Amino acid sequence: MRSKTLALLAAGALTLTACGANQATPPASTGGGGATTGSSAAGGVKVGVILPETATSARWEGFDKPMITAAMQAAGLDADVQNAQGDVQKFTTLADGMISQGVKVLVIASINSEVGSAVAAKAKARGIPTIDYDRLNLGGSSDYYVSFDNVKVGELQGKGLADALKDKAGGQVIEIEGAPTDNNATLFYNGQQNVLKPLYEAGTLKLVQSQPIDGWDNQKGGVTFEQILTANGGKVDGVVAANDGLAGAVITVLRKNGLNGKVPVTGQDATPDGLMAVLRGDQYMTVFKPIKQEAEATAKLAAALAKGDTAAADAIAKDSSDDPKGNRKVKSVLLTPQLTTKDSVKTVVGQGYVKATDICTGDLAAACSQLGIS
Ligand code: BGC
């Protein structure tokens, strides 16, 4: 089911990028990070982009990759977009390959701050500007960062759960969080607590346990959730899951216990699986992050930096992010996330992120027609 949805997602994404003018075939994967030879048909300035993972969220290959490829091309850049598949060694090898190919800008969505910072330092030593993409490398040296307001993402998750549990006084909550090595996971958590902590303190809701999941590993998230649920005597009223992947794993466990659809679960990324779970009523909400805007801002920044035009780059990156480890502020573009419940799935479809035909299948056809999703 999952792989079928991902295949559909990839197909949808291809259709999406194919709409762009003069869409070139994205460069073939270089596997171990060897150089991609020559320039593409676009013949633009070379930019390297390294994405972190595939398995932690369907967003990276389904949304980010095609949207970055299209945005870079529209900005006159020739992007080599690769995915490190959660392997830090591969991340480094890919970066080395891109640096030696002579990319003019390197865009990094790192697996953790250590590897991201090491890559940024290496690029800097060669005079190649770097942009932290989506995840900020703490203690790093990138001059620019493009992401969403990630505290806000967490606040939307907290708000979603609080809304769903508003009639459940003393409702018991389990929190399944993202990777402790991802600064975003910390920001999501902080945002959630802005909303939920006062409710826990007032006894309106009760926190059973909050558990970060190494590497955003969805499967580990499910196993951990099941252990916490069992230890709590099978009792849970609501679950904070930091993204749709973790939410899916939690829902599988809830289903096994006859609790799916009765216990609200949060999510993030508006992936096809996440949206389908929302339509089915198994997941209360997801957070839609307009990744096309993230990709476009990154491409514009990269185009400015490739020309050495830092004034233009600064005019794009008007926000600021804190790097508490490096004790510095990083010029940023921080975009606005959107809370998405059953009633707003239509918006995500309307913006072309997923196709109605991909999510309105089988048992969901009725829900879709009721909600006017077509
Ligand atoms: C991203 C999320 C994603 C998670 C796991 C975070 O850094 O912001 O969108 O779900 O990583 O890949």
pLDDT band of 43, cuts 50, 70, 90: low
What's the CA gap between 182 and 359, in Å, rounded? Answer: 30
Q: What pTM was estimated for this model as a whole?
A: 0.90
Question: To test the ligand 1 pocket, which listed residue (184, 190, 283) has its Cβ within 8 A of the most ligand atoms?
Answer: 184
How does strand 286-288 pair with strand 338-340?
antiparallel
Instruction: Check: CB of residue 213 under 8 Å from CB of residue 27.
Output: no
Report the phi/psi class of residue 134: left, alpha or beta, with left for phi > 0 and alpha for psi in -120 to 50.
Answer: left
Q: What is the pLDDT of residue 33?
A: 35
Minimum-distance ligand 1 atom for the alpha carbon of 135: 7
Closest among 238, 240, 294 to 267, alpha carbons compared: 240
What's the CA gap between 109 and 312, in Å, rounded? Answer: 22
How far does the centroid of ligand 1 lie from the alpha carbon of residue 159, in Å?
19
Minimum-distance ligand 1 atom for the alpha carbon of 53: 12
What's the CA gap between 144 and 217, in Å, rounded? Answer: 28
The ligand 1 site (C-beta within 6 Å) comprises 53, 56-57, 59, 134-135, 178, 182, 184, 216, 243, 268-269
Per-residue b or e along 215-233, where b marks 16 or more CB atoms closer than 10 Å to that residue's CB: bbbbebbbebbbebbeeee
Question: To test the ligand 1 pocket, which listed residue (85, 108, 110, 134) has its Cβ within 8 A of the most ligand atoms?
Answer: 134
**Chain mean pLDDT for the chain:** 91
What's the CA gap between 65 and 10, in Å, rounded? Answer: 10
How far does the centroid of ligand 1 lie from the alpha carbon of residue 26, in Å?
23
Minimum-distance ligand 1 atom for the alpha carbon of 245: 10
Give, in degrees to the nearest 5, the angle at Cα 275 between 161 and 204: 5
Residue with tokens 């008007």: 318
Closest among 170, 172, 251 to 208, alpha carbons compared: 172
If you average pLDDT over residues 228-249, what whole number do you get? 98
Per-residue pLDDT tens over the stretch 172-182:
999 999 999 99
Per-residue pLDDT tens over the stretch 73-98:
999 999 999 999 999 999 999 999 99
- Does residue 328 sit in helix, strand or coil? strand
Q: Hey, what are 21's tokens?
A: 């003018």
Q: What is the pLDDT of residue 44?
A: 82
Domains, the chain, ordered by start: 28-149+291-338 (3.40.50.2300), 151-289+340-371 (3.40.50.2300)
Question: To test the ligand 1 pocket, which listed residue (83, 150, 182, 186) has its Cβ within 8 A of the most ligand atoms?
Answer: 182
Q: How far is CA 352 from the centre of its chain?
A: 17
What's the CA gap between 345 and 348, in Å, rounded? Answer: 5
Q: What is the pLDDT of residue 8?
A: 43
If you average pLDDT over residues 185-197, what whole number do you get? 98
| pLDDT surpassing 90 at residue 279 | yes
How far does the centroid of ligand 1 lie from the alpha carbon of residue 57, in Å?
7
Instruction: Check: CB of residue 278 under 8 Å from CB of residue 212.
Output: no
If you average pLDDT over residues 281-299, what whole number do you get? 98
Q: What is the largest CA-CA distance in the chain?
A: 63
If you average pLDDT over residues 254-281, what whole number do you get? 98
| Residue 166: how many other CB atoms lie within 10 Å | 11
User: What percent of the chain stands above pLDDT 90?
Assistant: 88
Q: What is the pLDDT of residue 28?
A: 36
| pLDDT surpassing 70 at residue 294 | yes
| pLDDT surpassing 80 at residue 5 | no
